C-alpha cells in the first residue's frame, strides 16, 4: 500500500515580507496572500471533509498570530498542525542564533493556539547542516525538508533520530502557480490540467517504486477554485487505484519509526576544495 500525504504550507504574508517589509505597503499583494488563510484553507478543509481524509498543515508562527481562527478551524477539523518557522526566513540566510530564536518563537506562537507540533518543515526547503540538530533538540519527531530520498528514513543527530519525510519541487504547487510582479516570484501560471497530469503521473510512478508521495500545496495558490478541483481529481485518482492510503505526516512518521528495517543515515556536510570552487 502506497502512503500519500497531502500537506499545506499556510504561509500567508510571510514569504513576501521576508523579501522586505516594504511589501506590507502593497495592499493588493497582501490581499493575495491573505486569500490563503481566509478562503483557501476553509475550501481545502471542506474538500478533505468530503472525502474524510487527513492532512498536515505547516503553519508559520506569524500566520498563527495573525490568523488564530484559521489554526482553530484546522484543529477543529481534526488535522495536524506542524512547525514551519516563525517568519519564513531561510536558515541559510541566518546564523545559528537567529535560526534558534525564530524556531523557538514559532513554538511559542503555536503553543498559544494549543499546538505542540511533532514535525517541522524548513522555509523554502533551505535548511543548514545545523537545522536537523535544532529540530531534534526541541523534541520534534520528524522533518520534511530534504530531497535525498523518496522514502522515509531515520536522520541521525546528536539529539536523537528524526524521521525524514522527503520532499521534491515537482510535487510543490509553488513551482506551478506562483506569480507576483513584486517581489519577482514569476513562475509560469500553469494550466491546472497540466499540473494534474504531473501529479497523477508522479503518484503512479511512486506506487510502482514503493515511494512516499508528499504533495506540498499553499492555500493562497491551490485554494483557488480550479486548482482545488485538481486536488479533487488527484484524490479520486488515488482512491480509484485502491492501493493508496492517505495519511498525515505525523502518522507516516510514526509508522516509519516502527519499521525496524528503516534506513538510518547522517546528514554529512559537503566539504568544498576552495582551489576548485572559489567563493563567488
pLDDT in tens, 95-149: 999 999 999 999 999 999 999 999 999 999 999 999 999 999 999 999 999 999 9
Per-residue pLDDT at 74: 98
**What is the number of other CB atoms lying within 10 angstroms of the CB of residue 6?**
28
pLDDT in tens, 235-260: 999 999 999 999 999 999 999 999 99
Domain membership flag for residue 253: yes
Domain membership flag for residue 182: yes
Domain membership flag for residue 227: yes
User: Is 0.95 topped by the overall pTM?
Assistant: yes
Structural domain span for residue 135: 2-266
Strands 56-59 and 179-180: unpaired
Domain membership flag for residue 280: no
Per-residue pLDDT at 72: 98
CATH number of the domain that residue 228 is part of: 3.20.20.370
Domain membership flag for residue 272: no
pLDDT in tens, 63-78: 999 999 999 999 999 9
Domain membership flag for residue 55: yes
Given a cut of 90, whether residue 220 has pLDDT beyond it is yes
Domain count, the chain: 1
Domain membership flag for residue 273: no
- Distances in Å between the alpha carbon of 160 and those of 101, 170, 172, 222? 21, 30, 29, 35
Given a cut of 90, whether residue 188 has pLDDT beyond it is no
Domain membership flag for residue 94: yes
Band of pLDDT at residue 279, cut at 50, 70 and 90: confident
Amino acid at each position: 500500500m502506497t502512503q500519500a500525504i497531502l500537506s499545506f504550507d499556510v504561509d500567508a504574508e510571510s514569504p513576501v515580507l521576508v523579501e522586505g517589509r516594504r511589501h506590507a505597503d502593497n495592499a493588493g499583494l497582501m490581499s493575495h496572500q491573505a486569500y490563503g488563510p481566509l478562503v483557501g484553507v476553509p475550501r481545502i478543509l471542506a474538500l478533505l471533509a468530503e472525502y474524510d481524509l487527513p492532512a498536515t498543515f505547516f503553519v508559520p508562527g506569524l500566520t498563527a498570530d495573525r490568523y488564530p481562527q484559521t489554526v482553530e478551524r484546522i484543529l477543529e477539523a481534526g488535522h495536524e498542525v506542524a512547525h514551519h518557522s516563525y517568519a519564513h526566513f531561510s536558515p541559510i540566510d541566518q546564523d545559528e542564533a537567529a535560526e534558534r530564536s525564530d524556531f523557538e518563537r514559532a513554538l511559542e506562537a503555536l503553543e498559544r493556539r494549543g499546538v505542540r507540533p511533532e514535525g517541522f518543515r524548513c522555509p523554502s526547503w533551505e535548511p543548514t547542516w545545523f537545522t536537523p540538530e535544532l529540530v531534534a533538540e526541541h523534541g520534534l519527531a520528524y522533518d520534511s525538508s530534504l530531497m535525498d530520498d523518496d522514502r522515509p528514513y531515520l536522520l541521525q543527530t546528536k539529539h536523537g533520530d528524526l524521521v525524514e519525510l522527503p520532499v521534491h519541487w515537482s510535487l510543490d504547487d509553488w513551482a506551478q502557480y506562483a506569480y507576483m510582479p513584486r517581489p519577482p516570484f514569476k513562475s509560469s501560471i500553469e494550466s491546472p490540467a497540466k499540473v494534474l497530469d504531473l501529479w497523477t503521473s508522479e503518484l503512479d510512478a511512486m506506487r510502482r517504486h514503493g515511494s512516499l508521495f508528499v504533495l506540498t500545496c499553499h492555500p493562497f495558490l491551490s485554494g483557488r477554485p480550479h486548482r482545488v478541483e485538481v486536488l479533487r481529481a488527484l484524490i479520486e485518482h488515488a482512491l480509484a487505484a485502491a492501493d493508496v492510503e492517505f495519511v498525515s505526516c505525523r502518522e507516516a512518521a510514526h509508522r516509519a519509526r516502527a519499521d525496524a528495517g528503516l534506513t538510518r543515515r547522517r546528514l554529512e556536510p559537503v566539504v568544498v576544495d576552495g582551489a576548485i570552487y572559489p567563493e563567488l
